[in-house]
Structure 1
Amino acid sequence: MSTPESVTRRTTVQAIGAGAAALAMPAVTRAQSAPVRIGYAIARTGPWAGGAQVSQEPNFLMWAEQQNAAGGLDVKGVRRRIELIGYDDRSETETCIRTYEKLMGSDKVDLILPPWGSNANFALAPLANRFGYPMLAPTALSRKLIDMRLPYFFSLLQQPDRMMGALVDMLVANGVKTIAILYMDDLFGLENFAAINGALKKTNIQVVERKGYPLGVKDLSPVLRTIKDQNPDAFIGITYPPDTILASKQAKEIGFNPKIFYASVGTAYQLYRNVIAASAEGVTGMGSWNAKTSPGAKAYFEAHTAKFGGKEPDRWASGHCWAALEILTQSVAKVGLDRKAIRDYVARNEHKTIVGPIRFEGSENISTPGTVGQWQKGEFEVVWPRNVATAQLVVPKPAW
């Protein structure tokens, strides 16, 4: 197991809380009690790090800092400072699981925060359930995981059938007749691939190419050239952040510019806009919120951007990660640190969050619809479905 890089971060978070103790809200009692120890493993290195260090860990750090600046986490009316205990899982499922076994088993932390990605969450959820630790996961896209019906697991993201269903509805509404699909050959990619194929069966859209690729791919130009030759109306990439950027850059290089170019995850990241620059205009992908979504979303976006030196949250999982932290905060304020009571509170109530109200049915967030986002003039706008859109879909996509 790796040494916790967060020893320094832990000290910083505690110091902020100690220095700001006088700022505690009058309605909440301050007490000289033990800190709330919250453990997690997250990718700081390896192929998962690009997503984890945008969508999750920055939010963990900012949340703990904000809570400690208010005197600590409200635990049924008593504020206790947060002590974060974080490890690098090195983008390795085995390392991730061993770390959580230690955190929950021998370390007996009060609470855990989830790892990044469908694969890690799929592996961890049964273990956390056995130990009785609630998991509010903002980056797990897996209907199989939902169907395991683990009482302590809650997924904040819209599941593959919802996301792919919204995408296909958008394609149909915009007269798309032919598409090509490129997908990551892992749990995330395969489940979304199955979901889009299921949604397409209800349409007359023809799929001219279906192609999987492995983690760590370095060149997608051969398959993109094959797809370009078939001239589909839409390209659908079910891709991880590095591959989303790779596919976009190579599509531009070979002059492949379909009516709709959809790639995710990673499209909703500031990094994507920065790397692809003006050519990002019109590209679509997985996204569900932005600063226009709610006053809380605007405040969160501005606080995150200010804290991390202009680094913006992504317009999909980052918002859902903050929503998970909001739900956890509300739960602990109501029922304290009894993990069974937290689990019951989460399961039985509707929760107010920056992305809108969230209620769970089993492990699934049933309140947030499947959505599609699109880069427009520097902002990743929600463009589908129309009832939650922050802007109208631009189609056809402009030239790269």
Structure 2
Amino acid sequence: MELMKLLRAAGVGALLSLTAIAPLAAYADNEPLKIGVPMPLTGPLAGGGRMILEGIKFAADEANKEGGVLGRKIELIIEDTKGEPNTAAGIAARMANQQKVYAFVGGYGSTPDFAMLQSVKRNQPIFIHVGSSSVKLEETFGPEPWYHHIYIVDYHRQKAVAAFLDSMNPKPKTVAIAYEDGLYGSDAVKFSDEYLKKAGFDIVMKEPYKTGSPDLSPVLNRVKSLDPDVFFFVGYSGDNIQIARQQQDLGITPKLTLIVSAGEKREDFGAFGKGIAVVGEWAPEQKTEGLDEFLARITPALPANTKVLPTVVMGYTGMQTLIEAVKRAGVVDREKVLAELDTGKFKTPFGEVEYGDGERGGKHQLLSEKNLVAWQYRDTGQQVVWPADKANGKLAYPVGK
């Protein structure tokens, strides 16, 4: 109810109520498959959105170079949601009802994506949702047969954070949490209460902030006064970079700063990033079968100076699984493609994965806490430090030792 109030206040309510059912597009032989790609390409979520788009484009380009899918070229219909609920809802409705896309691959940002999915749920499109993690998405759309989700859900991350901290030696005792005040951060702190406390950690601070805030010193000064073992910061890419720079500027040096991977790269932090630990879905240094070959293919295909980030891999995997499902079905028939998505196993840069049941109602969840890794920024570059079977380095804790 609170979410719907938020969306209606943003002017989304009228649009949601007017969305009509659109029939699936009929595809003549050899007609391109139109794939809707609604992504935030400007605004505060643009960093991650642009990286996801690079992965989607690479997977589509690879398929097209091999003749397409079942003889059909893939045509991407890309539009900028700006990370705004009303804009995202309008774009998705237009793609479904007017542009008659075959399927969707995209989305990044829990609040705008909730509005976007509400706007097309009556159409029941094939929707590969790449980037958002709010549990409200799983609870609301997860049971739908047409909805498939790549990214972890917030409780997966908190399970992984608890396991990561529990593996540390010495084991930390106190954790201070700062979180962005939207769906993304609010769910994160809710599940931190559940999983970190269950693992025996004392949460000494839970402080919200508004994403894109230029001044995070109130949060940091409270961290300084509490002196926790771990400062856990849940934010988007720009927020993560901002907190790293400001805590050094203010001379605030927690024993360990832990952030959530959100599309940024080591170079974005410069000297401010040394020692920061990151929990994310994937790292190029991790030990995964077939990963070196994938990196050799994708790296030269990306724009100059673009790193292969977890968000790139998420976008690639979303498009890859759709392409493979269509190929395995042998036809573009919606029900047969959905059946292949539901039952197939896919070899991806994350390893071999499948869409399975989530814990909060989702029926088609690809990643979980089992796929998450932790890495730590060094003077330059990074090393995967957890779990042991994927690690190529050891955690420095407390930072500086």
Distance in structure 2 (CA, Å) of the matches to 1:173 and 1:323:
29
SS in 2 for 1:327: helix
The amino acid across from 2:41 in the alignment is R
SS in 1 for 2:399: coil
2:81/2:87 contact within 8 Å kept: yes
Q: Which residue of structure 2 aligns with residue 328 of structure 1?
A: 322
Residues 332-391 of structure 1: CA deviation (Å, up to 9, x unaligned): 101132222222211122222111121222132366614333224644443223333343
The amino acid across from 2:317 in the alignment is A
Aligned positions, number: 360
2:158/2:196 contact within 8 Å kept: no
SS in 1 for 2:219: helix
The amino acid across from 1:61 in the alignment is K
The amino acid across from 1:71 in the alignment is G
89, 93, 105: which one aligns with 1:101: 93
Q: Which residue of structure 1 aligns with residue 179 of structure 2?
A: 183
Which residues of structure 1 form unaligned runs of 5+?
1-30
Q: Which residue of structure 2 aligns with residue 355 of structure 1?
A: 350
The amino acid across from 1:281 in the alignment is K
Distance in structure 2 (CA, Å) of the matches to 1:394 and 1:126:
44
What is the CA distance between 1:229 and its match in structure 2? 1.8
Distance in structure 1 (CA, Å) of the matches to 2:383 and 2:146:
33
Distance in structure 2 (CA, Å) of the matches to 1:356 and 1:89:
30
Distance in structure 1 (CA, Å) of the matches to 2:336 and 2:240:
40
368-377 vs 326-335, which deviates more?
Answer: 368-377
1:290/1:298 contact within 8 Å kept: no
What is the CA distance between 1:98 and its match in structure 2? 1.1
Q: Which residue of structure 2 aligns with residue 147 of structure 1?
A: 139
SS in 2 for 1:91: coil
The amino acid across from 2:340 in the alignment is Y
What is the CA distance between 1:291 and its match in structure 2? 2.8
What is the CA distance between 1:295 and its match in structure 2? 5.2
- Identity percentage of aligned residues: 25
Q: Which residue of structure 1 aligns with residue 41 of structure 2?
A: 44
- TM normalised by structure 1 equals 0.83
Distance in structure 1 (CA, Å) of the matches to 2:377 and 2:281:
12
CA distance 1:214–1:206, change in 2 (3 Å): same
2:59/2:319 contact within 8 Å kept: yes
SS in 2 for 1:351: strand
Distance in structure 2 (CA, Å) of the matches to 1:162 and 1:180:
19
Distance in structure 1 (CA, Å) of the matches to 2:210 and 2:317:
32
304, 307, 311: which one aligns with 2:306: 311
What is the CA distance between 1:312 and its match in structure 2? 0.7
Q: Which residue of structure 1 aligns with residue 399 of structure 2?
A: 397
SS in 1 for 2:212: coil
Indicate yes or no: 2:36 matched with 1:35. no
- TM normalised by structure 2 equals 0.83
SS in 2 for 1:201: helix
What is the CA distance between 1:126 and its match in structure 2? 4.2
SS in 2 for 1:357: strand
Indicate yes or no: 2:122 matched with 1:130. yes
1:166/1:384 contact within 8 Å kept: no
376-385 vs 255-264, which deviates more?
Answer: 376-385
1:327/1:346 contact within 8 Å kept: yes
SS in 1 for 2:268: helix
What is the CA distance between 1:392 and its match in structure 2? 2.8
Q: Which residue of structure 2 aligns with residue 80 of structure 1?
A: 72
Q: Which residue of structure 1 aligns with residue 341 of structure 2?
A: 346
1:231/1:258 contact within 8 Å kept: yes
Indicate yes or no: 2:222 matched with 1:226. yes
The amino acid across from 1:340 in the alignment is E
The amino acid across from 2:223 in the alignment is I
Distance in structure 1 (CA, Å) of the matches to 2:211 and 2:272:
25
The amino acid across from 1:326 in the alignment is Q
The amino acid across from 2:270 in the alignment is A
Distance in structure 1 (CA, Å) of the matches to 2:318 and 2:228:
38
Q: Which residue of structure 2 aligns with residue 286 of structure 1?
A: 279
SS in 1 for 2:67: coil
